[in-house]
């Protein structure tokens, strides 16, 4: 019987020529070609890697990898680059250590906690609102890509460190984390600069251990968390790695998404009109609070459609531990699995007219008919992004206040080009004219 099964094993179709998929523009274009030629799954001989690669682009296969048999898959190709920058944080860790960290951190991201931390989000947006009021007087041209990056960084830092951020800025003579907004490159030089910030964070951790100040922020909750099995707290090294992960991941993906949200609002008058109608009719006074977000359902749809159209994490990987099957195909142990949310979100069987930007895809009625694993901007399963709810709240509050008072119109100084590297960014800054409504 075993021999018969082995003889009937099938491998997915694929090209004869070898190619190493990576987070590059070349791979971005290659994946489009492979999906067109081979469909939902294909096998790609590797040029330099030990194992073959498998490109997977069907939600049923993805459900198997990320949910049903997730224990057979660990982080794969490309995460070594991320680890250089972030250390062994929750994004790159695996196995029992990852499960421990996830259990300890998860309570910090529940609805009640995010509700309280939304005050930090509101305060950051109020500061930006005051600035935009001045700039809108003269209809100033603003770089919304940079503005989104600075706002997202401010929000994640305030949520992590609350009042201690002001102390760090004072002691360092400026925001030491501003390199993330001033230097768009994600290369070895940034890695070296960013690693230097660990010293500053370690001093803060030591200070909190010693002085035990009253704080309500992510760092305080991480320090208070305990392993249910051993009662142990996170070590300083573990805290550092998780802080570095939160700063990069919490800043970058939100910044990119806000950039795209404003771009799409400016491009589609009917979407802009619906956003304005919703924020104008909402009952909050100046800026929405956490309890007001149920009044901003269309804003949430606008955000979700932006995440579908241009997911910040456009490609990620897994590695098979043991042999597995995807449908009728065998996946050998050690295989590198590549999943691209960008192309999955354009799968015509699940997204009709996928190249059309349409927030109504995410209306309450439409969501009921979606395949859950056809939309994975935050991944899926146990490894789903721990901060997805926080990010959504952050963007709803921002659009909820700014769209009520301002209109942004894109200045066509450069054509829109994608930069598909570690994240899906716009190659050039998106310039906007800022006007009062």
Taking only the tens place, the pLDDT of each residue in 10-44 is 899 999 999 999 999 999 999 999 999 999 999 99
CA distances from 394 to 203, 226, 398 (A): 28, 27, 6
- For 267, what's the count of Cα atoms within 13 Å in the CB-facing half-sphere? 15
| Per-residue pLDDT of the chain in tens (437 residues, 90 and over written 9) | 333 334 456 899 999 999 999 999 999 999 999 999 999 999 999 999 999 999 999 999 999 999 999 999 999 888 777 777 778 899 989 999 999 999 999 999 999 999 999 999 999 999 999 999 999 999 999 999 999 999 999 999 999 999 999 999 999 999 999 988 876 666 667 677 777 888 999 999 999 999 999 999 999 999 999 999 999 999 999 999 999 999 988 899 999 999 999 999 999 999 999 999 999 999 999 899 999 999 999 999 999 999 999 999 999 999 999 999 999 999 999 999 999 999 999 999 999 999 999 999 999 999 999 999 999 999 999 999 999 999 999 999 999 999 999 999 999 877 889 999 888 999 999 999 999 99
Element (H, E) at 420: strand 418-420
CA distances from 168 to 224, 250, 355 (A): 22, 19, 45
Query: Is residue 201 within 8 Å of residue 168, measured between CB atoms?
Result: no
Residues 6+ apart with CB under 8 A from 222: 104, 105, 108, 234, 239, 242, 243
Residues 6+ apart with CB under 8 A from 332: 51, 52, 320, 323
Specify the CATH architecture of the domain 20-436.
Answer: Orthogonal Bundle (1.10)
Q: From CA 172, how far away is CA 309, in angstroms rounded? A: 39
SS3 at position 167? helix
Alpha-helical segments (H) within 20-94: 25-38, 59-63, 79-86
Whole-model pTM: value is 0.94
**Main-chain dihedrals φ then ψ at residue 320, nearest 5 degrees:** -75, 130
Residues 6+ apart with CB under 8 A from 142: 135, 408, 431, 432, 433, 434
């Amino acid at each position: 019987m075993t021999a018969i099964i082995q003889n009937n094993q099938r491998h997915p179709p694929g090209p004869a020529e070898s190619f190493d998929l990576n987070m590059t523009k070349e791979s971005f274009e290659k994946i489009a070609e492979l999906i067109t030629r081979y469909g939902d799954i294909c096998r790609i001989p590797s040029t330099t890697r030990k194992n073959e690669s498998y490109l997977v682009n069907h939600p049923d296969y993805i459900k198997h990898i990320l949910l049903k048999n997730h224990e057979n898959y660990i982080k794969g190709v490309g995460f070594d680059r991320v680890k250089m920058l972030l250390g062994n944080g929750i994004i790159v860790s695996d196995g029992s250590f990852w499960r421990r960290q996830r259990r300890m951190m998860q309570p910090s991201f529940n609805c009640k906690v995010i509700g309280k931390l939304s005050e930090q989000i509101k305060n950051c947006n109020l500061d930006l609102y005051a600035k935009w009021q001045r700039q809108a007087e003269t209809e100033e041209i603003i770089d919304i890509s940079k503005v989104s990056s600075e706002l997202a960084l401010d929000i994640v830092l305030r949520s992590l460190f609350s009042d201690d951020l002001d102390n760090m800025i004072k002691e360092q003579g400026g925001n030491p984390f501003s390199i993330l907004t001033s230097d768009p490159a994600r290369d070895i030089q940034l890695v070296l600069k960013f690693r230097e910030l660990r010293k500053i964070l370690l001093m803060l951790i030591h200070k909190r251990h010693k002085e035990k100040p009253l704080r309500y922020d992510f760092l305080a909750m991480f320090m208070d968390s305990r392993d249910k099995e051993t009662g142990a707290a996170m070590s300083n090294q573990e805290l550092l790695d998780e802080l570095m992960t939160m700063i990069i991941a919490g800043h970058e993906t939100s910044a990119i998404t806000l950039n795209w949200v404003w771009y799409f609002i400016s491009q589609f008058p009917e979407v802009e009109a619906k956003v304005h109608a919703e924020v104008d009719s909402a009952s909050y006074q100046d800026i929405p609070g956490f309890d007001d977000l149920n009044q901003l359902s269309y804003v949430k749809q606008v955000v979700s459609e932006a995440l579908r159209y241009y997911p910040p994490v456009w490609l990620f990987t897994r590695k098979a531990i043991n042999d597995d099957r995807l449908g009728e195909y065998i996946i050998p142990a050690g295989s590198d699995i590549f999943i691209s949310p960008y192309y999955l979100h354009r799968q015509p069987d699940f997204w009709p007219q996928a190249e059309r930007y349409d927030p109504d895809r995410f209306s309450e009625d439409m969501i009921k008919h979606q395949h859950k694993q056809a939309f994975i901007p935050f991944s899926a399963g146990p490894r789903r992004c721990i901060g997805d709810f926080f990010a959504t709240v952050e963007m709803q509050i921002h659009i909820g206040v700014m769209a009520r008072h301002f209109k942004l119109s894109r200045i066509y100084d450069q054509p829109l080009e994608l930069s598909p590297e570690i994240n899906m960014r716009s190659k050039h800054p998106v310039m906007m004219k800022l006007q009062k409504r």
